[in-house]
Amino acid sequence: MARISGRPENRKPLGEMSSMQSLQINGKSSWFSSKLEVRKSETHGKGVFAKSRIIAGERVVIFGGDVMAIDEIDDLPSRLQQYPMQIEERFVLGRRGTAKPEPADFFNHSCEPNCGFKGQIFLVAMRSIRIGEEVTFDYGMVVSESVSSDIVFEMDCRCKTQRCRKIITENDWKLKMLQQKYKGFFSQYLQEKIAALQRSRR
Ligand X SMILES: C[S@@+](CC[C@H](N)C(=O)[O-])C[C@H]1O[C@@H](n2cnc3c(N)ncnc32)[C@H](O)[C@@H]1O
Residues that bind ligand X (CB under 6 A): 41, 43-47, 82-83, 105-106, 108-109, 155, 157-159
Residue whose C-beta lies closest to ligand X: 45
Question: In sequence order, what E strands does the chain have?
Answer: 31-32, 36-40, 46-50, 59-62, 66-69, 85-86, 91-94, 115-118, 122-125, 134-135, 154-156, 167-169
CB 50 within 8 A of CB 123: no
DSSP 183: T
Q: Which stretch binds Zn ion (CB under 5 A): 37-45, 71-79, 119-127, 156-164?
A: 156-164
The 46-50 sheet, strands edge to edge: 36-40, 46-50, 134-135
Rounded-to-integer distance, Cα 194 and Cα 81, Å: 27
User: Considering only residues 123, 157, 190, 194, which one is a binding residue for Zn ion as defined by CB under 5 A?
Assistant: 157
Query: Of 159, 178, 190, 194, which lies in the binding site for Zn ion, with binding defined by CB under 5 A?
Result: 159
The correct pick among 111, 142, 190, 194 for binding Zn ion (CB under 5 A) is: 111
33 binds, among Zn ion, ligand X, none (CB under 5 to 8 A by kind): none
46 binds, among ligand X, Zn ion, none (CB under 5 to 8 A by kind): ligand X
Q: Is 178 in the site for Zn ion (CB under 5 A)?
A: no
Round to whole Å and give the CA distance between 106 and 137: 11
| Span of 7-15, 16-24, 158-166, 188-196 interacting with Zn ion by CB under 5 A | 158-166
Site size toward Zn ion, by CB under 5 A: 4
Count CB atoms within 10 A of the CB of residue 12.
9
What residue 62 binds from Zn ion, ligand X, none (CB within 5 to 8 A, per partner kind)?
A: none
